[in-house]
C-alpha cells in the first residue's frame, strides 16, 4: 500500500461567513476517522479541501509531505492517492457500470490498477457490468461508485455521507466494505450523520463551530 500522511494545521476557510475556523487533523494508513456535525457545519467543505478539489484561506495542509497551495493543479496527486465516494454517487449516466468503473484508468499513467475481476467479485457487480448505471438501484449504484473509487488503488478514501440515500441493508454492505478496505491499509475519512455508523469508527470527531472536537466519554 502507498504511504499516507495527511496533516491539517489551523486550517481556515470562509465563504460569505467563516465556515472552518481552526481545523486540525492527522490521518495515516491506519486511520478510520468518522466525522459528524450538523448540516451546514462545513463537513463537505472540509472533505473537498482534503480531496484537493477546493482551496483554503489560511493554515497548512500537507499531503504526504507536499504543502498544498491554492491554484495549483493537483489532479495527478488526487488520481494516484484518493478515492472519493459521494451520497449522490456521481456516476456518468450515459455509461455502463464497466465504463464507469474503468473511467479513472483513462487518465492513469503510473498507478497499479486493481484487478478488475477481483473488484467486481468483491462488490458483487458481475451481472450488472454491461447495464447502464441509470437502471441500477441505489445500493448497486453506490457499489459501482466504490469500485470506481478503488480501481487505482488509493491510500485514502474520502466518503461524504455515502449511505445517506440507502436502506439499512445496503448501508451495512457499504460499511462492511469500508471496514475491509481499511484493513488493507487505506486511510478512511467518513462523513455521516448516522450516529450508529459513527459509533463503529475508531476515531469519532464532531465538526462544530469551525473546529473538530474529539468525543469525550462520560
Ligand atoms: N461554494 C460555496 N459558496 C458559498 N458558500 C458555500 C459554498 N459551499 C458551501 N458553502 C456554505 O458553507 C457552509 C458549509 O457547507 P457544507 O460544507 O456543505 O456543510 P455540510 O456538508 O456540513 O452540510 C454552508 O453555510 C454553505 O452554504
Ligand atoms: Mg455536506
Tell me the H-state helices in 51-104: 75-81, 97-102
Q: Is residue 189 within 8 Å of residue 160, measured between CB atoms?
A: no
Q: In what order do the strands lie in the sheet with 156-160?
A: 82-86, 156-160, 187-191, 32-36, 203-208, 211-214
What is the percentage of the chain residues whose pLDDT exceeds 90? 85
**Cβ of 41 less than 6 Å from ligand 1:** yes
pLDDT in tens, 18-62: 999 999 999 999 999 999 999 999 999 999 999 999 999 999 999
Q: Is residue 97 part of a domain?
A: no
pLDDT bracket for residue 134 (50, 70, 90)? very high
Whether the per-residue pLDDT at 217 is higher than 70: the answer is no
pLDDT confidence band for 197 (50 / 70 / 90): confident
- Answer yes or no: is 132 within a domain: no
Does residue 169 belong to any structural domain of this protein? yes
Quote the pLDDT of residue 216. 61
CA distance 191 to 83: 14
For the ranges 9-18, 102-111, 175-184, the maximum mean pLDDT occurs at: 9-18
Taking residues 135-141, what's their average pLDDT? Answer: 96
Question: 87, 39 in Cβ contact below 8 A?
Answer: no
136 domain residue, yes or no: no
Residue 106: C-alpha distances to residues 86, 96, 98, 111 (Å)? 21, 15, 13, 11
Q: Report yes or no on 39 lying in a domain.
A: yes
pTM of the full structure: 0.95
Residue 109 pLDDT level (bands cut at 50, 70, 90): confident
Q: Is the pLDDT of residue 218 over 60?
A: no
CATH number of the domain where residue 28 is located:
3.40.50.300
The answer as to whether 76 is a domain residue is yes
Q: Is residue 129 part of a domain?
A: no
Taking the centre of ligand 1 as the mean of its atom positions, its distance from the CA of residue 2, in whole angstroms, is: 31
Round to the nearest angstrom and report the end-to-end CA distance of the chain.
37
Which one of 11, 44, 190 would you pick to mutate in the ligand 1 pocket, going by the greatest count of ligand atoms within 8 A of its CB? 44
Q: Which residues surround ligand 2, an ion (CB under 5 A)?
A: 43-44
Q: How many domains does the chain have?
A: 1
**CB 91, CB 141: distance < 8 Å:** yes
Phi and psi, residue 166, nearest 5°: -110, 155
Instruction: Calculate mean pLDDT across residues 162-175.
Output: 91
Report yes or no on 50 lying in a domain.
Answer: yes
Which residue bears the cell 488526487?
78
Mean pLDDT of 95-105: 95
Q: How far is the CA of 45 from the centre of ligand 1 (A)?
A: 6
Which residue puts its alpha carbon closest to atom 25 of ligand 1? 40
Full residue range of the structural domain in which residue 56 is found: 5-92+154-214
Share of the chain above pLDDT 70, in %: 99
Evaluate: CB of 44 within 6 angstroms of ligand 1: yes
Amino acid at each position: 500500500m502507498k504511504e499516507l500522511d495527511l496533516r491539517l494545521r489551523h486550517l481556515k476557510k470562509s465563504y460569505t461567513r467563516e465556515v472552518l475556523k481552526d481545523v486540525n487533523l492527522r490521518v495515516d494508513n491506519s486511520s478510520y476517522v468518522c466525522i459528524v456535525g450538523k448540516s451546514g457545519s462545513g463537513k463537505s467543505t472540509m472533505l473537498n479541501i482534503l480531496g484537493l478539489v477546493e482551496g483554503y484561506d489560511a493554515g497548512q495542509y500537507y499531503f504526504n509531505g507536499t504543502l498544498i497551495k491554492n491554484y495549483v493543479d493537483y489532479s495527478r496527486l488526487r488520481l494516484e492517492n484518493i478515492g472519493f465516494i459521494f451520497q449522490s454517487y456521481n456516476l456518468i449516466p450515459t455509461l455502463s457500470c464497466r465504463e464507469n468503473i474503468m473511467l479513472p484508468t483513462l487518465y492513469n499513467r503510473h498507478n497499479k490498477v486493481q484487478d478488475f475481476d477481483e473488484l467486481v467479485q468483491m462488490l458483487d457487480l458481475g451481472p450488472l457490468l454491461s447495464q447502464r448505471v441509470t437502471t441500477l438501484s441505489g445500493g448497486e449504484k453506490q457499489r459501482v461508485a466504490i469500485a470506481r473509487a478503488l480501481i487505482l488503488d488509493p491510500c485514502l478514501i474520502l466518503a461524504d455521507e455515502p449511505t445517506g440515500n440507502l436502506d439499512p441493508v445496503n448501508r451495512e454492505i457499504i460499511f462492511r466494505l469500508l471496514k475491509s478496505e481499511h484493513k488493507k491499509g487505506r486511510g478512511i475519512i467518513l462523513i455521516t450523520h448516522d450516529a450508529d455508523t459513527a459509533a463503529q469508527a475508531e476515531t469519532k470527531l464532531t465538526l462544530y463551530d469551525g473546529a473538530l472536537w474529539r468525543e469525550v466519554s462520560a
